[in-house]
Amino acid sequence: MRYLSTRGGMPPKQFCEILLEGLAPDGGLVVPEHYPRIGLADLEQWRALTYPQLALEILRRYVDDIPIAELRTLTERTYTADAFGSTEITPVRTLEPGLHILQLSNGPTLAFKDLAMQFLGHLFEHVLARAGRNLNILGATSGDTGSAAEYAMRGKHGIRVFMLSPYGRMSPFQTAQMYSLQDPNIFNIGIRGVFDDCQDIVKAVSNDAGFKARYGIGTVNSINWARVIAQAVYYFKAYLAIAPRVGDPVSFAVPSGNFGNIFAGHIARQMGLPIHRLILATNENDVLDEFFRTGCYRVRRGAEVHQTSSPSMDISKASNFERFVYDLVGRDPREVVRLWALVDGAGGFDLSGTELARQLPQYGFVSGASSHADRMEIIRHVHRTYGVIVDTHTADGLKVGLECRDPAVPLVCLETALPAKFAGAVREALSRDPEVPPTFRGIERLPQRVEVMDADADAVKSFIAARCGG
Ligand X SMILES: *Cc1c(COP(=O)(O)O)cnc(C)c1O
Provide the binding-site residues for ligand X, judged by CB under 6 A.
Answer: 111, 113, 144, 222, 255-261, 312-313, 393, 416-417
Q: Which is nearer to ligand X, 111 or 127 (CB)?
A: 111
Q: How far is the CB of 146 from ligand X (least distance, A)?
A: 11
The CB-of-179 to ligand X minimum distance in angstroms stands at: 19
Helix (H, G, I), strand (E, B) or coil at 293: helix
Count the residues in the chain: 470
In whole angstroms, how close is the CB of 395 to ligand X at the nearest point? 11
Phi-psi region for residue 15, left (φ > 0), alpha (ψ -120 to 50) or beta?
Answer: alpha
Give whichever of 117 and 205 is closer to ligand X, judged by the CB atom. Answer: 117
CA distance readout (Å), 416 to 113, 312, 419: 8, 10, 10
Rounded to an integer, what distance in angstroms lies between the CA atom of residue 240 and that of residue 243? 6
Give the angle subtended at the CA of 455 by the CAs of 452 and 456, to the nearest 5°: 105
Quote the strand ranges of 152-274, DSSP E.
Answer: 159-166, 186-192, 217-218, 250-255
3-state helix, strand, coil split of the chain in percent (to 5) is 45, 15, 35
Catalytic: 113? yes
Least distance in angstroms from the C-beta of 113 to ligand X: 5
Name the residue nearer to ligand X (CB basis): 144 or 286.
144
135 vs 417 by CB, closer to ligand X: 417
Distance CA 270, CA 428 (A): 40
Shortest distance in whole angstroms from residue 47 CB to ligand X? 27
CA distance 415 to 389: 11
DSSP string, 205-240: HHH-HHHHHHTTEE---TT-HHHHHHHHHHHHHHHH
Q: Which is nearer to ligand X, 174 or 188 (CB)?
A: 174
Closest distance of CB 316 from ligand X, Å: 12
Sign for the CA dihedral angle at 23, 26, 28, 32 comes to negative
CB of 114 or CB of 125, closer to ligand X: 114
Catalytic annotation, pick one of 113, 156, 237, 399: 113
Residues with active-site annotation: 113
